[in-house]
Structure formats: structure tokens, C-alpha cells
A = this chain, B = another copy of it.
Amino acid sequence: MIKMKEIAELAGVSISTVSNVLNGRKNVGQATRERVLQICSEYGYHPNLSGKKAKSANSNTIVFVFSDFDRDFYLKIIEGISDCLTENGYDLMICTNKSAANFMRGSLASGAIILDGSLTDDFLISVAKPDFPVVLMDRIIRNEQAETKSVIVDNYPVMCEMVQGLVDKGFKRFGFIGGLDFTLDNQERYAGFTDTLAKNNIEFDRKYYFHGNYREKSGYQAAKIMLLSNDLPEVVVCANDNMAIGAIKAFEENKIRVPDDISVTGFDDSVLAEMKGLTTISIPRYESGYLAAKELLAMLEGTANKEPFKLGATIKWRKTVK
């Protein structure tokens, strides 16, 4: 690893001249500039980022934290983030929750985008400062001190719309398989569900609420439990696709046909949902990543409000609903 000092010696100039050349400052003679550049490429010089950052806290790198390896749409989100950052001259560095604290606190990056439930609110509040803004995806932290901004799916209205659609189709007996109770997503989705039923004077007995954890298996198990009772609902609304797919599997194993005997809906529009023909709600993943990055850059420039940004979603009616 050749360093600036050696380049300077080879070029017969001072270290600061090399630095000036490399940073494109104009106070360098044409001849010197070319000579330095020539030597740099000849010897394969590349700046040591640690040295750089040690001095000018301005790192131009953003960290993205995730950790649930089961959600296949991470890649699309990352692609959106990556594109936006690249367009703006920033580097993206991705890590899992395990290294998050190190990278977020070590001043290697200038901001972070979080799509992870395992980092605590307290931790996030402690790192999200004006000089290290944080964008939260699918999550909201209400704290005046913390420099956070949320980018979330606007679950409520689209869930209302879908449930209203189901009501209009004539469904009366509903079941609901929920995700993790404490997540914002689940709360809003469930609220849209119950509110719409209430509005239509359809009673929802809480015994038809089944607790899941967003994984396929939990949907499968919820459906298994449902099957034990003698009165299945006419339609099961699930808080995400994975659970819907699990539920369908359980029904089919028990000779309950979807949608003939029971209808099922999901949320997310994952690859599998499309494949299975699952009625669900489609979220703009790439766009959400792009937007999250854009908001973060705005925060870095001080031009951003802290109101949650709500992403619209759209219903995909497919064949799992009669």
C-alpha cells in the first residue's frame, strides 16, 4: 500500500501538493498535477480512508442495517438505496444488527438507514444526532431529541380499501392472522381491518384473531388451529404474504380448497405471492429504498422535516379470493 508521502517523494513535491491534486483543488500547476497523477496511477495509489476520515469527519458513506434474512425483498430496497446514493456521490455500506453499533458509532459513516426490529429505540435515539441523521423504515420513534425520520408504508387506507372490497363481494365472516403485535405495520393493518368491518356493521369476534410472527410457519399453525374449530371464516386476512402462504398450505393439506371453500389475502406482494396467485397488497420496494436514501441526504443538508413519509400501496386482486 503506497501512501501519499511516497508519492510526494517520487514526484519531488510536498505531501500537501499531492493532496491538493487528488482533491481536485485548482491551486496546482498543470505540469505538477499531471506528474503527480501519472505517478499515482503508475504506483497504484489509493487513499487510505481512515486517514481521510480521521481529519475531515465528512465521510460520504451511509450505512444500511437489516437483519431478517427471510424477507426476500431486501434486495430490491437495497437496490433503490444504492442507486440514489450512487447518483449523489455517496457510498453505501450494509451491515447486520451485529455490527450496527460499531459502524454507526465509529464515525465511519455520516448517517444510517434502518430496516431492523432488533435495534432498540434507546440505541437509535442515542446515535441519531443532527450530525448523524437516521432514517427508519417501517418504524417510528417519537422523540424530539433524536434526529430520525420514518419512511413507512401507509398501511391503513389500503387495508381499509381491501377489506371494503371483500365486504362488497359479500364476505361476512372474517378471520385475521396478525404479525408481531408490537410492530407498527401489524397495528395499522389490523386497525384498517377492524375499522372497516365496524363501519360496515360486521361484527368481528376477537377469537378470530390469530397471533403470528410474519413467518410462513406461524401462518400455517394459525390455520391449523382454525381448522380445529368447526366454523371456519369465509375469508382470512393475513398481515403478510408469508403467513398467508403458510395458511393456504395448511388449508390445502386438509382438503379445504382456496378460494372455493375459503378465501385468503396477504400483504407485501412477494415473489411467492405473485407465483401463487395470492390476493395481496403491493408495496413499492425499490422506490421505498430510493426514497429513504433521498430523505437521509436531505437531512444531511438540513432540508427535511421530521414528519413520517408515507408510501402508497396498491391492491392486487388475484385468485385466492373468490
Contacts and interface: CB of A to CB of B under 8 A. Distances in A.
A186 B272 CA distance: 27
A78 interface: yes
A248 to B, nearest CB: 12
Contacts of A272: 271-272, 275
Contact of A50 (B50, B86, B131, B275): B50
A98 B106 contact: no
Nearest to A95: B93
Interface of A is mostly: helix
A92 B82 contact: no
B107 A49 contact: yes
A98 B101 CA distance: 24
A88 to B, nearest CB: 12
Quick one: copies of this chain in the complex? 2
A99 B49 CA distance: 13
B72 A72 contact: yes
A44 interface: yes
Contacts of A129: 1
Given A91-B103, A92-B98, A98-B82, A54 B46 contact: no
Contacts of A108: 49-50, 108
A83 to B, nearest CB: 9
A126 B102 CA distance: 28
A224 B245 CA distance: 31
A69 interface: yes
A322 interface: no
A304 to B, nearest CB: 21
B107 A82 contact: no
Contacts of A309: none
A155 to B, nearest CB: 24
A50 B96 contact: no
Contacts of A69: 75-76, 78-79
B91 A44 contact: no
16 contacts: A1-B107, A49-B50, A49-B106, A54-B54, A69-B76, A75-B75, A91-B98, A92-B95, A93-B93, A94-B94, A94-B95, A108-B108, A271-B271, A272-B272, A275-B275, A275-B276
